[in-house]
């Protein structure tokens, strides 16, 4: 299947209700409003196809960019490729759920994520912290440096309240993910979550959201999810 055919398939799957919902979260034209689950049959036809993924991401169409992440070959992508994708990620659903997710399956994931976390750019920082969430939730604990993650928890504790909104949300998720998916630092993550307390997320034209990593960790513990690892990062 070529770019034109896939774009036609995606357009046929689009729904106005979802399009409006995506736009209320920051998506902009062009987009069709395709449910992510509806993309699975299309993925089964195409499988991994990096050249097509690059073409689709370059369209600027939100649904095409999301599908690009599904069919991309992360191990074939370089640091420069991920930087280029970040340049096109104009809102958090792209930075955190397309670019960060794709990066999490690459061998260079931590190296690139560390650079983004240190960048000072809201969506890059958000993608970097989010990438660690995807990594911690899927890879064995042995793949991580415990002292490095402990230092990252300390960074969150000291800076989260002054961070930009999307970065703040990703940092909060990081504390939760360490608390549940990385058992060596479960106790420190709980202590960090309690120290930072509730986080207010101000949203345009919407009521503020309150994030509370401590409560979220406790709920996951109550469900018996300590040590949770997902089998796949991408759908």
* Residue 124 in domain: yes
Structural domain tally of the chain? 1
* Residue 75 in domain: no
* Residue 192 in domain: yes
* Residue 186 in domain: yes
State the 10-residue block means of pLDDT for the chain, 235 residues long: 97 98 97 97 97 98 98 98 98 98 98 98 98 98 98 98 96 98 98 97 83 97 97 82
Taking the alpha carbons of 16, 28, 117, 175 in that order, is the dihedral positive or negative? negative
The per-residue pLDDT for 103 is 98
* Residue 41 in domain: no
Burial class (CB in 10 A: 0-12, 13-18, 19+), 217: buried
* Residue 87 in domain: no
Alpha-carbon gap, residue 97 to 111, rounded angstroms: 18
Mapped onto helix, strand or coil, the DSSP state of residue 140 is: coil
The per-residue pLDDT for 235 is 63
Bridge partners of 201? 209
Mapped onto helix, strand or coil, the DSSP state of residue 120 is: coil
Alpha-carbon gap, residue 151 to 114, rounded angstroms: 12
Alpha-carbon gap, residue 221 to 159, rounded angstroms: 26
Angle at 13 between CA 10 and CA 18, to 5 degrees: 105
The per-residue pLDDT for 31 is 98
Q: Could you please report the per-residue DSSP string of 42-92?
A: HHHHH-S-HHHHHHHHTT--HHHHHHHHHH--GGG--HHHHHHHHHH--SH
CA torsion 84-97-160-206 (nearest 10°) is: 110
Q: How far is CA 62 from CA 35, 131, 152, 178, 232, in A?
A: 12, 20, 31, 30, 22
* Residue 220 in domain: yes
* Residue 153 in domain: yes
pTM, two decimal places: 0.96
Domain of 162, in residue numbers:
109-235
């Amino acid at each position: 299947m070529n770019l034109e055919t896939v774009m036609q398939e995606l357009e046929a799957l689009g729904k106005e209700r979802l399009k409006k919902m995506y736009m209320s979260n920051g998506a902009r034209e062009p987009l069709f409003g395709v449910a992510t689950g509806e993309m699975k049959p299309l993925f089964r036809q195409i499988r991994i196809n990096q050249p097509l993924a690059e073409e689709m991401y370059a369209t600027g169409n939100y649904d095409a960019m999301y599908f690009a992440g599904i069919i991309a070959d992360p191990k074939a992508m370089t640091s420069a490729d991920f930087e280029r994708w970040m340049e096109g990620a104009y809102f958090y659903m792209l930075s955190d759920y397309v670019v960060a997710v794709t990066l999490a399956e690459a061998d260079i994931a931590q190296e690139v994520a560390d650079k983004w976390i240190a960048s000072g750019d809201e969506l890059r920082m958000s993608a970097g912290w989010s990438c660690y969430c995807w990594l911690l939730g899927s890879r064995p604990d042995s793949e991580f440096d415990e002292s490095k993650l402990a230092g990252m928890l300390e960074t969150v504790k000291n800076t989260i309240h002054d961070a930009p909104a999307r970065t703040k949300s990703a940092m909060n998720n990081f504390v939760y993910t360490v608390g549940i998916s990385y058992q060596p630092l479960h106790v420190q993550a709980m202590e960090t979550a309690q120290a930072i307390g509730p986080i207010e997320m101000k949203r345009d034209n919407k009521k503020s959201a309150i994030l509370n990593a401590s409560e979220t960790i406790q709920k996951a513990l109550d469900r018996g999810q300590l040590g949770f690892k997902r089998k796949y990062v991408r759908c």
